[in-house]
Structure 1
Amino acid sequence: MVQSTLPDGEGHSASPPKPGDSPEARRQAVLAGGHLETFHSLLGPHSRFFTVIRRVAVGCFNDGSIHAGNLAYMSLLAIFPFFITAGAVYSMFVAPGESAATIDTVAAALPPLVAGVIEPVAREAVAARSGWLLWAGAAVGVWTAGSLVETIRDILHRSYGTAPTQPFWKYRVGSIGIILGAVTLLILSLYAQVTVAAARHTIAANLPQLSHALNELALSRLVTALGVYLSILMLFLALTPSAYRGPRYRKWPGALLIAVWWLVVAELLPPVLRRLFTYDLTYGSLAGVMIALFFFWLVGLGMVAGAELNAALSETPEEERDRLEQAGAVSGQVATGQEDIAR
């Protein structure tokens, strides 16, 4: 039976018109063009928001596992030499004979399972050295920890799509300066933690009704988070390729993402491992080492994501000029369409 196509409800069309293709729909789209353009530019599938997310996801998919594994290995390899270096500097310039004091600051930023594996070994490694032997270990520690810094530099170069521009030895000298800066920041974080602990004890003694609230706030974790954020921000400021190191290109979003990711992983890793995994049955006495490696792997994945986020948010002058030209052309077309309809 053939259906008629009479207008005004006298029949039914064979197929309903597509709203987006009809002249009326196109007229309404032009009239509301400014609003639609604003919506699509902010939240549409081709908006900058989704473009940045897509860039970060693709970068993490391509390089995340490789660099996360490399960072996990280098972190476990470099953390003990770093403790020796930090202990030597702390013992020389701050408190002689207290070379192991900085270990507590780093342990506070680690999950209890990971800290329980690393802290005793780190104390033994630092306590076994004194005098010239401590400084010899510090020299080796600076070089070893510098390799970790160079791994992060490579992550940033790959994120921004650039190649190294300086000789190897210049990068190494810069890495030594970064390690010494990290040691300084670690010592400052130690003093901040001591200050917070002293304040909490004073308030608990004089205002016991506030002690529970202080425990809920977990001020020491906030200090740890701030220390992690500043450390990562310092690394990004120092290691980002020189062409993208200026104030035009933001570094704080990636550093903030890594700091939040670090805290979330440190908070959730123990209950997840306790409920879902039984590393003891698989790795036996090495279970603690494997958990530490897994933690550093997750942190490395967050490091890659932070680097990719900064790279995705970077807009060169050429990109900005092209984007403004395209936006101007689209606005002109919308204005012309509105004028034609108004006539």
Structure 2
Amino acid sequence: MLTSARKRGYIDTMVALERHKRAWKRALVLFFSNQGMAAAGNMAFLSMLSLFPFIIFLVAVSGFMGQSERGHEAIQYMLSILPPEVSSVVAGPIKGIVSNTGAEILTGSILLAIWTAGNGVEAAREVLIKAFGKEHARAIWIRRLESLGVVVFGAIAIVIAMSIMVLGPAVLKAITSLFPDAMMDGVNTTWKYLSLLVSPAVLTLGLYMVYLSLTPRKVKNVVRLPGTLLSVAVLIATAKGMSVYLKYAGNYDVTYGSLAGVVVMQLFCFLVSLGFVLGAELNAAYTFDEADRAKAEARASKRTAKDAANNGDDKPAETDA
């Protein structure tokens, strides 16, 4: 009995490994056939171009909601993710944006900022359209309106998320004050370790929502988690890896001169975009694999039913004695 269960478990494991291997192979084929490197370069350029307009709108929205501090904290959180060499490039312009942007959101400059920020969203959407097939794309004007909606609701969601992150420790402290000191120390220790997972969890949720909102609606039963996890892993690895590389490769500023910071930031955006593109192809590969398996199971079921019906017809008719 135990041996049979082990064999069944071994077979299930091998089937799962074969499925993952097949999906990764398919994702790499899609990546190169869809010119993933060029798509990542385009996405990196438009993302960098739309970063500052989005920050302008984020500051305006946070001020309009009466949560200016939350907007500033969100910007600081975004800067903390970047390598120090990259954040130092954008910190100065962002500081000027924060000091010169008010709480008015229905102005010409803010509306232009929303439109420009939408270009970065459109670049990410184009990656997903290529991954899942252009036949699934919606009309361009619908996509553009959705991109503007993503910018607006994304900024609002960031302000709300930062408010929750700020209120969380205060609420936890108020709750733990009702318990004995020993229990409160245990809860505080647990929260200390759990807080280390906050940043990866926020990144994972944010990227998952990007894949969720930008994947063509006509595609059914979309798999999004593998690509999301891959994108988060590439983002974190890029941020940490570039910090180490630039720390010991001190001659990059000699090569690029005064443009060194801009080049480093563009390289960071490119590597992160590369992870996003590969994540999109991976999601598409798993989705297509699931669809192929469902079709194969449906064909096998129909074949079994047909064979059963044929076998029933072939039986000799019973005669009365």
| Fold-level similarity (TM above 0.5) | yes
Cα drift, residue 77 of structure 1: 0.5
**Native 8 Å contact 1:157 1:240 kept in 2:** yes
Write the distance in 1 (CA, Å) between the matches of 2:87 and 2:253.
Answer: 17
Alignment of 1:156-175 (within 5 A): 156-163=128-135, 165-175=137-147
Residue 224 (structure 1) aligns with = 199
Is 1:256 matched up with 2:229? yes
Residue 21 (structure 1) aligns with = none
- For 2:32, the aligned partner's letter is F
Alignment equivalent of 1:89, drawn from 35, 45, 61: 61
> Percent of counterpart pairs with the same letter?
27
Write the distance in 2 (CA, Å) between the matches of 1:252 and 1:49.
Answer: 13
Relative to structure 1, the CA distance from residue 319 to residue 230 in structure 2 (aligned partners, 3 Å threshold; closer, same or farther) is same
Write the distance in 1 (CA, Å) between the matches of 2:235 and 2:69.
Answer: 31
Residue 297 (structure 1) aligns with = 270
**Native 8 Å contact 1:162 1:241 kept in 2:** no
Per chain length, whose mean CA-contact separation is higher, i.e. which structure has more relative contact order (CA < 8 Å, sep 6+)? 2
- For 2:27, the aligned partner's letter is V
Is 1:140 matched up with 2:112? yes
Write the distance in 2 (CA, Å) between the matches of 1:277 and 1:161.
Answer: 43
Alignment equivalent of 2:210, drawn from 219, 235, 257: 235
Write the distance in 2 (CA, Å) between the matches of 1:39 and 1:222.
Answer: 29
Residue 57 (structure 1) aligns with = 28
- For 1:311, the aligned partner's letter is A
- The RMSD of aligned alpha carbons is 3.7
**Native 8 Å contact 1:108 1:224 kept in 2:** no
Q: Which of structures 1 and 2 has the bigger CA Rg?
A: 1
**Native 8 Å contact 1:105 1:186 kept in 2:** no
Extract unaligned runs of 5+ from structure 2. Answer: 1-6, 304-321
- For 1:233, the aligned partner's letter is Y
Moved more, 125-134 or 69-78: 125-134
Cα drift, residue 185 of structure 1: 2.5
Q: Deviations over 1:272-320 (max 9, x none)?
A: 2222463201111211111111111111011011111110111465642
Residue 296 (structure 2) aligns with = 322
Write the distance in 2 (CA, Å) between the matches of 1:321 and 1:118.
Answer: 50
- For 2:90, the aligned partner's letter is I
Write the distance in 2 (CA, Å) between the matches of 1:269 and 1:201.
Answer: 37
Residue 177 (structure 1) aligns with = 149
- For 1:298, the aligned partner's letter is L
Q: Deviations over 1:165-215 (max 9, x none)?
A: 433221111111111221122213323443577799999xx99x99xx899
Cα drift, residue 128 of structure 1: 2.3
Write the distance in 2 (CA, Å) between the matches of 1:192 and 1:34.
Answer: 46
Relative to structure 1, the CA distance from residue 259 to residue 38 in structure 2 (aligned partners, 3 Å threshold; closer, same or farther) is closer
Alignment of 1:1-343 (within 5 A): 41-43=15-17, 47-62=18-33, 63-95=35-67, 100-130=72-102, 135-163=107-135, 165-195=137-167, 217=193, 219=195, 222-244=197-219, 246=220, 248-276=221-249, 278-315=251-288, 317=291, 319-322=293-296, 325=299
Relative to structure 1, the CA distance from residue 59 to residue 317 in structure 2 (aligned partners, 3 Å threshold; closer, same or farther) is closer
Relative to structure 1, the CA distance from residue 38 to residue 181 in structure 2 (aligned partners, 3 Å threshold; closer, same or farther) is same
2:223 match: secondary structure: coil
**Native 8 Å contact 1:254 1:305 kept in 2:** yes
2:135 match: secondary structure: coil
